Amino acid sequence: MDATCGVRKKKGRELPFKIASPNSSATPYFFWAINKSDARYRPLRITFPPYFCLRYFSSFFFYLQQFRKTKPSYQTSMGTVVDSSNQGAGSLPTNKKVSVIFVLGGPGSGKGTQCANIVENFGYTHLSAGDLLRAEIKSGSENGTMISNMIKEGKIVPSEVTIKLLQRAIQENGNDKFLIDGFPRNEENRAAFESVTGIEPEFVLFFDCPEEEMERRLLGRNQGREDDNIDTIRKRFKVFLESSLPVIEYYNSKGKVRKIDAAKPVGEVFEAVKAVFAPTVEKVAA
């Protein structure tokens, strides 16, 4: 006999084996297995071929199944949202193609006010990142305390949290045209959203407003928001200048920014907004 007999422990079970000489013509190459950690087991002739075949065939089908489950989404001209938390659940559509406009501007520049007008006139769905975060706090989510503390400090919540909320809101909505208000707030938001969803905005609507006017509006907003106090407002302005403006500059360099003078009265601001949307809508209708 050219082999050493023994017992190999695998997942708590004991498997018999024989160690064969590599030169042995009686050892089919197919049944050699390489054990990297112990040269004594090299080559290893498994004396239980049905076990060997079953194990490797089942691995093959397992990997095939995993590959099918993690099929990537491909970016289209509109963008595709894959709801990773919903894969295989079947209750929500997956790989939904959507058109997105980012609505950016300083705190109190009038983003929410104008989004309401755009929804009414142009059939978009308004998703405010801030509103989604506030709703998440109210829902009693495990992230609630963290989000609440970040908002009180005027800080930007980790992208992973905000993107999940946006993705879910997009998936659950029947519309395919979205205004995403107050997002992306920093470079991390921007890059993460693009890589997770594959969505690039059609364009970015930027409400440009002087700080004194925004401060006046926020202090008069009276909606009971915990961050509408002078200390937090100042922190939010700082974050806007340091983290959000560079995102607007990034999109500007790609020719995607539509800048609106937001210091004017609401009606006049909306006239300027309409001029941005009307050609887009006409083009779609033609």
Binding-site residue ranges for CMP? 189
Q: At what angle do helices 159-172 and 129-138 cross, to 10 degrees?
A: 100
Report the residue number, 25 or 223, with the smaller CB distance to ligand ATP.
223
Instruction: List residues bridging with 205 in a β-sheet.
Output: 103, 258
Are the C-beta atoms of residues 247 and 194 closer than 8 Å to each other?
Answer: no
Provide, rounded to whole angstroms, the least separation between the CB of residue 255 and ligand ATP. Answer: 24
Instruction: List residues bridging with 125 in a β-sheet.
Output: 178
Burial 73-99 (b: 16+ CB within 10 A, else e): beeeebbbbbbeebeeeeeeebebebb
Provide, rounded to whole angstroms, the least separation between the CB of residue 141 and ligand ATP. Answer: 21
Where are any strands of DSSP class E within the chain? 3-10, 13-20, 32-33, 44-46, 80-81, 96-97, 99-105, 125-128, 177-181, 203-208, 257-261
For position 269 contacting ligand ATP by CB under 6 A, the verdict is yes
For position 105 contacting ligand ATP by CB under 6 A, the verdict is yes
Provide, rounded to whole angstroms, the least separation between the CB of residue 8 and ligand L45E5XJ5. Answer: 54
For position 201 contacting ligand L45E5XJ5 by CB under 6 A, the verdict is no
Provide, rounded to whole angstroms, the least separation between the CB of residue 232 and ligand ATP. Answer: 10
For position 151 contacting ligand L45E5XJ5 by CB under 6 A, the verdict is yes
Residues 17-56 that bind ligand ATP (CB under 6 A): none
User: Which residues sit in the known binding site for a ribonucleoside 5'-phosphate?
Assistant: 134, 155-157, 182-185, 225, 236
For position 236 contacting ligand L45E5XJ5 by CB under 6 A, the verdict is yes
Find which of ligand L45E5XJ5, ligand ATP, none residue 154 binds, CB within 5 to 8 Å per kind.
ligand L45E5XJ5
Surface-to-core class of residue 128, CB atoms within 10 Å of its CB (0-12 exposed, 13-18 middle, 19+ buried): buried
For position 154 contacting ligand ATP by CB under 6 A, the verdict is no
For position 184 contacting ligand ATP by CB under 6 A, the verdict is no
Question: Which single residue brings its beta carbon nearest to ligand L45E5XJ5?
Answer: 130
Report which of 246, 257, 226 is spatially closest to residue 102, judged by C-alpha positions: 257
Q: How far apart are CA 36 and CA 220, in angstroms?
A: 71
For position 190 contacting ligand L45E5XJ5 by CB under 6 A, the verdict is no
Find which of ligand L45E5XJ5, ligand ATP, none residue 133 binds, CB within 5 to 8 Å per kind.
ligand L45E5XJ5
One character per residue 113-132, x = contact with ligand ATP (rule: CB under 6 A): x----------------x--
Q: How far apart are CA 168 and CA 267, in angstroms?
A: 32
